[in-house]
Structure 1
Amino acid sequence: METAATQPASHYSGANDTVKLSAPHTTDYGLEVIRRNRSVVAFQPEKIAIAITKAFLAVEGQHSANSARIRDQVAQLTSSVVDALTRRLPGGGTVHIEDIQDQVELALMRFGAHDVARAYVLYREKHAEQRAAQQPLESESPTLHVDVGGQRQLLDGVAFLAVCREVCIGLNGVNAEQVWAQTLTNLYDGMPLAAVWQALVLAARTLIEIEPDYAKVAARLLLSQLRLEATGSALTQADMAEAYTGCFAEFIAAGVAAELIDPRLAEFDLERLGQALLAERDLQFDYLGLQTLYDRYFLHIDGRRIELPQCFFMRVAMGLALNEIDRETRAIEFYRLLSSFDFMCSTPTLFNSGTRHPQLSSCYLTTVSDDLDGIYQSIKENALLQKYAGGLGNDWTPVRALGSRIKGTNGHSQGVIPFLKVVNDTAVAVNQGGKRKGAVCAYLENWHLDFEEFLELRKNTGDERRRCHDMNTAAWVSDLFMQRVRDNAEWTLFSPVDTPDLHDLYGAAFAEAYQAYEAKAERGEIKLYKRIGAVQLWRKMLTMLFETGHPWITFKDACNLRSPQQHAGVIHSSNLCTEITLNTSNDETAVCNLGSVNLAAHLVEHDGAWQLDADKLQRTVTTAMRMLDNVVDINFYATPKARNANLRHRPVGLGMMGFSDCLHRLGLAYASQDAVEFADYSAELLCYYAYQASADLAEQRGRYSSFSGSLWQQGLLPPDTLARLSETRGDLGVVAGGRLDWDALRQRIAQVGMRNSNCVAIAPTATISNIVGVSAAIEPVYQNLYVKSNLSGEFIVVNAALVRELKTLGLWDAVMVADLKYFDGSLAAIERVPADVKARYATAFEIDPEWLIEAAARRQKWIDQSQSLNLYVAAPTGGKLDQMYRLAWQRGLKTTYYLRTLGATAMEKTGDDAAPKVCWITDPDCEACQ
């Protein structure tokens, strides 16, 4: 039996006699394999293992047949291929033999077995040529039939080719005949009609790497499939203007009847809203974006989607306009903003707006109290908040350390760690209805006596009862500690039961109290403490960060000294993705509502140069802030503490995405002073208009209730607070001043107040940037060509801007595609690419992380909360990490997020040395916030 994995070749002969493979577990994957002769056979993973083994033996020789290393590598690679196929077809289906071989090739490249992959590719090409030579010069396409509702019908190839031609209209570099020819290779006689549609999509998807616009072809083919599923009719794009108007009311009625949609949506003027739907905006989607919506966002009844894209955006808009006086007008305004891709709400809002459970907020921050009731109440609240798509940040600093006395039992505490294990398992158990994994981050100040053990929570060795592999951790670090590191001084760890006020202090007050406790320990008045070199603890933090990805480094004093809400409490932690900085206490759970502006959609060409359209950005931000403010009142709150805090302070977090896309359009390298200046200017515009919009809303709707006493009320805006941090740190090295009239804004806020205590936070946008089709948040480009894996499967991602430029230079061809694959999406080693192009399209690991920090520091000047800042280090060393994180502190950053690294030997691909795959410490995407 021929399968994708079978590779009979003379130099492989005898391999089956010498290699002993363990029998795979019998698993029903629901997959079948289409052979080249169009017969269909069962999917057998063991064939993949055999083929990969033969490929290794062909390169390394028969003497390595019984090598434990090869067996382990084969098992790992086979699992990778099977996982890729099942992710792509989670409900089962058919896959062509060539597709499986493509996955084997991809797995070998990812693993770093480049010599083996090269031999595998050459073998495939050789046998493809042999098959071609054996076939007649002219062969007719085979007669195929499809199964339609149990009836066998002749496949109408002409009709399907017409569909391919329709979806290619208006796109460059795509070919309908090529899509259909690719599809035919994946068809077999008697195939279900739905599987033919799926084969069309998969065929277009395989072509994305050679022409990015095939991503739109695949999206439009998926759209045709979706229309058939949702409406029962095969509708063309030309049909949709009328069809949307007709089906919108039916969709709302069906959703209400199925108890999915809030019945109040049926009270809108549905005819008016249906007429406002813009069918042409369906054509904006790339495949990754539409597939993500299809799999996870569109409402469905018994697995059948009942939403089309524009119905989805209108449903979200209606949910956000429920309390507006002129609901229809506002719903249309919100719909137009969302469907234009100029702005996108966060994932929880998209999931739940307009439904019967409108949990629209993204982030929750809690403080855990030091008693059993409070601890387990916090864990219960975690579960309730996670149930409807909330990402959590827990402040565990108040909980007494291991060995502390418990008065009630006259015993000794087991410390923080055992409770964190319960938190970890709760996050796994409550997975948001299967839509996303439960997600939580535990924060601990680094003077806590349990902090050293806290650092080891993510290690793969040690007592599993004191390990948490599924949750995130972050260190809440004071300026005093960083100064002790700088001075190579000692640091003291305490139990918070002995130093209860440290938790609520920061800045000079914290330093004074901390030193007083150290003096008490010296006098013997505090028994439970530990002295450690500050540099020693800092090194352990960075070592664990490198080895396990945790804890993230966040800075307590920068967050609090610059907080506009200092009068109303203390910031004790950030959130799951480190962009939210809000007060928490035993009585208040901080809540933040997120959404992000697509910065790339606000570029305009003027006199042959691209620039930000400030007027359009102001219009977008004004509407977006109104939408975010509406979330506060509409939101479903799982706990009273969350409701009370959110209604009292009304914080929101407006962010941005598409920053790297802007740099590409502007012709700027991320590693340049010009990019730093653009980061400064774009953040200033975003923040200025956000604060201005909040002031306008305050005039219309009233100030948030805790406004009195805030820095806003005192006339101190976020850029003004930079000086406060400088007073304690010295010169931050951040250029002050901006381009807009901040004095006028101060006067405006003094006159009318603010509607929201906090306005701006740059979240990761891992998922909504996929929906919109732009680069995530403020991230550099990961690779220029790679395969992205998420809950919807695997997707080829190619930098369309680079492709356009290489086409202009006459450099985009099959060889360039192969080179990009081989060099992990990097241009650096491709000699024919000009140096300036290499600089502008440098990938994340090729950019010195200092440039990321400098750009972030300029943004932080304007932002009232924080930003999710990933840092990339190709060849990490202790000195490099020390320098990088000290610079982040010195520049006044409030938080940092993931540390991304490469395997130590992945830096170079020369001679016969096989470089291993990229080694991420953790999953490259955080989807909890966005």
Structure 2
Amino acid sequence: MHIIKRNGEMAVFDPEKIHHAVTMAFLYDADGAARPDSNSTSASVREKAAAITQNVVDTLEHRAHDGTVPIEDAQDQVELALMRAGEHKVARDYVLYRERRARERLSAKADATADRKAHIRVTNENGDVVPLDYDKMKTVIQQACQNWDWQVDSEPVLAATEKLLYDGITVNELLKAPILATRPLIEKNFRYSFVAARFLLDQIRLEAYGDVPQEDMEHLYADYFKGYIQKGIAIGRLDPRLHDFDLDVIGSALVAERDWIFQYQGLQILYDRYLIHDNERRIELPQAMWMRVAMGLALNETVDRDEWAIRFYQVLSTFKFVCSTPTLFNSGTTHPQLSSCFLTTVPDDLEGIFDAVKENALLSKFSGGLGNDWTPVRAMGSWIKGTNGQSQGVVPFLKVVNDTAVAVNQGGKRKGAVCAYLETWHMDIEEFLELRKNTGDDRRRTHDMNTANWIPDLFMERVESNAMWTLFSPNEAPDLHELTGKAFKTRYEQYEQMADEGKMTQFKRLPAVELWRKMLTMLFETGHPWITFKDPCNIRSPQRHAGVVHSSNLCTEITLNSSDSETAVCNLGSVNLLAHIISNPVVYTHGDEAVREEWSRSDLRTEITGKEALQHIDMNMLGDTVKTAMRMLDNVIDVNFYPTVKARNANLRHRAVGLGVMGFADALHKLRIPMDCNAAVVFADVAQEAISLFAIESSADLATLRGSYDSFHGSDWSHGILPVDTIRRLQDERGVDIAVDTHGAIHPDFWERVRNKVKTGMRNSNCMAIAPTATISNIVGVSQGIDPVYQNLYVKSNLSGEFTVIDNHLMDDLERLDLWDAVMVNDLKYFDGSVSVIDRVPQELQRLYATAFDVDAIWLIKMAAHRQKWVDQSISLNLYMASPSGKKIDDLYRHAWRMGLKTTYYLRTLGASSAEKSTITNDKLNAVSGIVNACAIDDPSCEACQ
């Protein structure tokens, strides 16, 4: 084995040098001073040094696949071995010593590199070669590392940038160099993410406008914007109607300093996939993108159109609310397909099946996510009247759908995304469960699409009572598809009796528990099919009079009626909850003096009342945000481009929208509330109640201005029935109580006012749905949807590359306690981003910053159930399990059903997403070696996730 020195030379590996380094670490501190009561002859020191040396040597021999080890890697392993041995103080001093030696080497190199800097030349776009303006580059880097409320060390960025320079470097490469230099530093300090974003912003600005400093954009943005609109229209990318706005007024509303609030990952995602370009050259700056989206959504405003566009822009550009990805992609363009989700029902005939496949392709082309209801299609072995042959069942057609999704990859922007749903009584259900397996006949496998079980309550009741279950083919039991609740039970039992009497050609009996176990086994092994519940989706639907909910969507949060004549459509966006949180609100008054509640940053809040939770939400701001957001979502319906007639007719008739939420975990961190306590449940309940109140009232107000949706009469709304009222209806259907308190924290008078409003009209048949928000939350820089934090430090891989993700709240707290250092970074890497086993971290912070796998998933279900009572559609709910077992998974999903949840999404387990343990810090992006693909948090094929 050989060591690779810092200068690239090779030397034979000598374990004695490792032993010497470890011994010196025990004898001397970071400044070289001898530790008290330590000497080289001490038996304790000798034994510890020998044991640690052996561990390091064993590790290096295991890792040195090509027989070589970089010297930095060897030193990293010494750090890890010291930490694993519990010698945290020694390890910390060793780290500090390495950092001091690194600074000394850097200083020694300064003179040697000065001459090289003087001879570096830059190649401009026109081919001219000019000397590098080193002082300008240094100033740009130093300024990027300073903010009004924080600053980070610019020297590591400068040093790493210099290593990337070479004579003849192009302007584009020169702009990228500091970005590449900064990315590995994000793991040490999250503020470097803002620094890297500023460098990327320089690159975007040069492409879109020219070589001007960001500070000048305060005065130049308006002029640039007018030219951008004109150019975008000229090249056929922007809607010509944008020119009808008062571009002087619109341009003057742009706020250049909001470009600074992006973190690197968010801005890189915008650059790669959202900003409009002309032959791969971006012509759109970030604030122009927000305004382009706002103007596109204001196109049909007949009064004060400019003012509404500006109002939409203010909400978007301040990250209070963000529309879903299709809207951000296409609003204001010549192809404004802005809707997020489409739900289709596939009929039981060949022409209808392939019409459905064609519809999938058309919807996917323009960035739609699809949910297909396949229950009507007859099972394998069923008689085909026209040919007198036997059907091959659902599975072969699903293979075609799978390949179509791969072929039509959403306009080349991201993978096609579709989910197939099948009811549990369908004869093909057992083969359906195995579609995602990696074994078996590959012609009957769908590796690229998602699948979900659509489970009636009767099946769960049979599971609970350990009874038998009967499978049927839908051509013999067609009405089961259209029945729910008690009506479904009555008819299903009639079919079972008919089967007993020999009146059914195809049926199969098996224990319900056996089928349930197979469902959960496949869910654990393959991640599919997801568990969703038919009856809660229908019994609690405000649109029961207009049809049946036959499936959910790609991410299981949309629950709209679909049929062979209507393709359900939903238009999504999410409120950033973190932006509406007040940490220390005024909670009472004493005389004329307002008194604030204060608590120590180290105190956790595990109990909180609903009234106290309300005090932490800026209700005025939230009300304004939701009102504006609902108007934007409603506008989507009218300006939208519809790929199919069935989608257009359904969307204009029912006008469903789905207002969601993101940044929930960040809000809890800000309020010092752990996720595994009653306070988190109460806050989830109250926050969703507030959003629900404002969303419903906003839709009712819009109905006063614009009229109700066509199918309003006969809906729950028309009878003054609100989502929270339907909990009782579900209880009555099941005959058992649902353990969710239906009382709210907001004064009943406010709800009564809303109830009276909705009786007279609603603009939207459905108002709320909580989506995963994976990409838009990355753009904003907050936690995804309602999920707990996945890990406190990890590398996420998505279509825009690999990004170090670090919990800034945790880092702030550890900095405050003087615990944030290189050793802590290495600890977080070693323990997969979890602080629960890092002894130096106080217990209250271990609990507050518990990761998704540290939190018992029962708490996630409790919070979701208390949200669900306020939500008229559903919730995309990921569940996490560190140590899964059959019993635990069974208990978890039974609990979800008992608490009245409509749907669940992915089941995440640690075994599917474990990371390599490493502390390499060799200026590579992947300094945190364990890369977690996007699918470890969200579905990479999901329209809302990518």
Residue pairs, 1:56-71, within 5 angstroms: 59=58
**Offset at residue 58 of structure 1 (A):** 6.7
Aligned residue runs from structure 1 range 306-345, under 5 A: 306-325=283-302, 326-345=304-323
- Is contact 1:161-1:177 (8 Å) kept? no
Contact 1:387 1:430 in 2 (8 A): yes
Q: 2:633 aligns with which of 616, 628, 631?
A: 628
Secondary structure in 2 aligned to 1:713?
Answer: helix
Which residue of 2 is the match for residue 10 of structure 1? 12
Q: Give the secondary structure class of the aligned counterpart of 2:187.
A: coil
Do the aligned residues in 2 keep the contact of 1:846 with 1:874 (CA within 8 Å)?
A: yes
What's the counterpart of residue 274 of structure 2?
297
Matching of residue 924 in structure 1 with residue 933 in structure 2: no
Report the CA distance between 1:522 and its aligned residue. Answer: 0.7
The whole-number CA distance in structure 1 between the counterparts of 2:14 and 2:770 is: 54
Q: Does 1:733 align with 2:748?
A: no
Q: AA paired with 1:246?
A: D
Contact 1:230-1:306 at 8 Å conserved across structures: yes
- Aligned-pair Cα RMSD in Å: 3.2
Deviation of 1:60 after TM superposition, in Å, equals 7.3
- 1:420-569 equivalent positions in 2, closer than 5 A: 420-569=398-547
Measure, in 1, the Cα distance between the counterparts of 2:429 and 2:546: 28
The 2-side partners of 1:629 and 1:197 are apart by: 41
CA contact (8 A) 1:578 1:868 kept: yes
Within the candidate set 753, 772, 779, 1:764 is matched to: 772
Count of aligned residue pairs for this structure pair = 843
The alpha carbon displacement at 1:810 in A equals: 1.4
Matches within 5 A, 1:648-687: 648-687=653-692
Contact 2:380 2:392 in 1 (8 A): yes
TM-superposed deviation, 1:908: 13
1:27 aligns with none
| Distance in structure 1 (CA, Å) of the matches to 2:121 and 2:367 | 44
Verify: 1:829 aligned to 2:823, yes or no. no
Partner SS state of residue 846, structure 1: coil
Q: CA deviation at 1:924?
A: 2.8
* Contact preservation (8 Å) 2:796, 2:934: no
In structure 2, C-alpha distance between the alignment counterparts of 1:497 and 1:56, rounded to whole Å: 66
CA contact (8 A) 2:472 2:508 kept: yes
- Matched with 1:710 is 715
Matched, 1:146 2:146: no
What per-residue deviation string (whole Å, max 9, x for no partner) do you get for residues 127-182 of structure 1? 99799879957624322222223333221111011112332232524123332222
Once the two structures are TM-superposed, the CA of residue 603 in structure 1 deviates from its matched residue by: 1.0
Q: TM-score, normalised by structure 1?
A: 0.86
Q: Is the 8 A contact 1:704 1:756 kept in 2?
A: yes
Contact 1:363 1:592 (C-alpha < 8 Å) held by counterparts: yes
1:485 to 1:908, Cα distance in 2 relative to 1, 3 A: farther
Separation (CA, whole Å) in 2 of partners of 1:411 and 1:593: 42
Give the TM-score taking structure 2 as reference length. 0.85
The 1:421–1:323 alpha-carbon spacing in structure 2 relative to 1, beyond 3 Å, is same
Partners of 1:573 and 1:858 lie apart in 2 by 22
1:596–1:5 CA distance, 2 compared to 1 (3 A): farther
Change in 2 beyond 3 A, CA 1:538/1:4: farther
**For 2:186, what is the secondary structure of its paired residue?**
coil
Equivalent pairs: percent with the same residue? Answer: 57
Moved more, 839-848 or 603-612: 603-612
Q: Equivalent residues in 2 for 1:563-578 (5 A)?
A: 563-578=541-556
Structure 1 residues 727, 9: CA separation in 2 closer, same or farther (over 3 Å shift)? farther
Q: Does residue 215 of the first structure (1) align with residue 220 of the second (2)?
A: no
Asked if the contact 1:875–1:907 (Cα under 8 Å) also holds between the matched residues in 2, the reply is no
Partner of 2:810: 802
In the alignment, the residues of structure 2 paired with residue 909 and residue 817 of structure 1 have an alpha-carbon distance, to the nearest angstrom, of 12
Deviation at 1:190, TM superposition (A): 2.1
Residues 242-273 of structure 1: per-residue CA shift (max 9 Å, x gap): 11011111101111111000111111111111
Q: Which residue of 1 aligns with 2:725?
A: 720
Equivalent residue, structure 1, for 2:789: 781
Give the aligned residue type for 1:159.
K
Q: Any gaps of 5 or more consecutive residues in structure 2?
A: 16-53, 86-93, 586-595, 599-614, 919-928
**Cα distance in 2 for residues equivalent to 1:163 and 1:61:** 40
Residue 463 of structure 1 deviates from its aligned partner by 0.3
When residues 137 and 630 of structure 1 are mapped into structure 2, their CA distance, relative to the original with a 3 A threshold, is: closer
Shift of 1:579: 0.3
Question: Structure 1 residue 277: deviation in Å?
Answer: 0.6
1:833-848 alignment to 2 at 5 Å?
Answer: 833-848=841-856
8 A contact 2:881–2:908 mirrored in 1? yes
Amino acid across the alignment from 1:145: R
Are the counterparts in 2 of residues 173 and 211 from structure 1 also a CA contact under 8 Å? no
Q: Deviations 1:816-861 (Å, cap 9, x if unpaired)?
A: 1111111111101110111111000000000000000000000001
Partner of 2:926: none
Pairwise CA distance, 1:807 = 1.1
Supply the distance in 1 between the matched residues of 2:626 and 2:288 (Cα, whole angstroms).
23
Deviations 1:190-247 (A, max 9, x none): 2212111101112222211111111111111111111111112x22222001110111
Q: In 1, Cα distance between the equivalents of 2:176 and 2:893?
A: 47
Matched residue SS, 2:474: coil
Q: 2:174 aligns with which of 189, 196, 204?
A: 196
What is the CA–CA distance in structure 2 between the aligned matches of 1:271 and 1:225, rounded to whole Å?
Answer: 26
3-state SS of 2:911 partner: coil
Please tell me whether residue 170 in structure 1 is matched to residue 148 in structure 2.
Answer: yes
Aligned position for 1:371 = 349
Q: Tell me which amino acid in the other structure corresponds to 1:615.
A: N
1:308-344 Cα offsets, whole Å, 9 max, x none, are 0111111100100000012111111111111111000
**d(CA) in 1 for partners of 2:755, 2:276:** 44
> Partner amino acid for 1:139?
D
2:99 & 2:249 partners in 1: Cα distance? 60
Distance (whole Å) between structure 2 residues aligned to residue 253 and residue 134 of structure 1: 50
Q: Residues of 1 paired with 2:915 and 2:267: CA distance?
A: 35
Q: Which residue in the other structure is 1:695 paired with? A: 700
Q: Identify which of 745, 748, 767 aligns with 2:754.
A: 745
Give 1:41-80 correspondences, 5 Å limit. 59=58
Q: Distance in 1 between matches of 2:217 and 2:917?
A: 51
Contact 1:902–1:918 (8 Å) recurs in 2: no
2:22 is matched with: none
Alignment correspondent of 1:617: 622
Asked whether the 8 Å contact 1:902–1:920 carries over to 2, the reply is no
Q: CA deviation at 1:188?
A: 2.1
Amino acid corresponding to residue 283 of structure 2 in structure 1: I
Q: Which amino acid aligns with 2:648?
A: R
1:886 counterpart (887, 894, 914): 894
Could you say what secondary structure the match of 1:349 adopts? helix
Q: Is the Cα–Cα contact under 8 Å of residues 901 and 921 in structure 1 kept in the other structure?
A: no
Point out where structure 1 has 5 or more consecutive residues left out of the alignment: 14-54, 79-96, 115-121, 911-915
CA 1:176–1:192 in 2, change beyond 3 Å: closer, same or farther? same
Residue type matched to 1:776 in 2? Q
Structure 1 counterpart of 2:864: 856
Measure, in 2, the Cα distance between the counterparts of 1:556 and 1:850: 21
Mapped to 2, the partners of 1:851 and 1:907 lie a distance apart of: 25
Cα distance between partner residues in 1 of 2:333 and 2:421: 33
